[in-house]
Amino acid sequence: MTTRLCLASQSPRRAALLRQAGYEFEIVEPKVDETMMPGEDPSSLTKRLSMMKAVAAQKMLGPDSKIDVFLGSDTTVVVAGEALGKPTGEPDAKQMLRRLSGRTHEVMTAVSVLWNNRQASEIVTSEVTFCSLSEALIDDYCASEEPFDKAGGYAIQGRAAVFVENLRGSYYGVMGLPIRETFRLLKNANVYPTWHHRRIEK
């Protein structure tokens, strides 16, 4: 059966989580301008970018595509009210990790679904507390190159797991795709995991 679902993401982590949940999908890697607009708060930015990715994927595939459900997601790390995107390089990654060291920050992940001229979004906010990070630990972590394509400069499912003292919220949301919320949104578009027999749910 031909899949109806497109994941609009360059993230291998989101693809792995969606596949783990049992979905079949195609991947399109849209490029969108992730610049924060004047006066925009981190939550609004995250939701806007997630929907922009879904819309961009739809435009890339065009009206003749058999795929008609588009899933976009975006993650923002927020510390002291400031949104941290992906680091521009090693110095930027080190500066982000110094800011996160020994304190609690927020991780916001938005999921957006576009189908049949309809759209819906959800956003999940989690709180993550880091231990104090020594300069040696930051240097060694950055030398692994793991931080460079991650919001906030770290991957909770990777080596940075050792930094985490506490997490309140969605682990999968911090990874980049809150699974429960994704399932709920895709169900509205009549898209289900392959293992789900799609019985009418009350």
Angstrom distances, CA of residue 120 to CA of 63, 83, 115, 180:
20, 23, 9, 15
Tokens linked to 27: 């991947």
Tokens linked to 145: 């190159």
Residues with a known catalytic role? 74
Looking at residue 11, its amino acid is: S
Q: Confirm if 6 and 67 have CB atoms less than 8 A apart.
A: yes
Taking every pair of Cα atoms in the chain, the longest distance, rounded to a whole number of angstroms, is 55
Query: Strand locations in the chain, DSSP E?
Result: 5-8, 26-28, 69-79, 82-84, 104-115, 118-130, 164-168
**Cα 37 from Cα 46, distance rounded (Å):** 11
Cα 180 to the center of its chain, rounded Å? 13
Residue carrying the six token digits 């394509």: 149
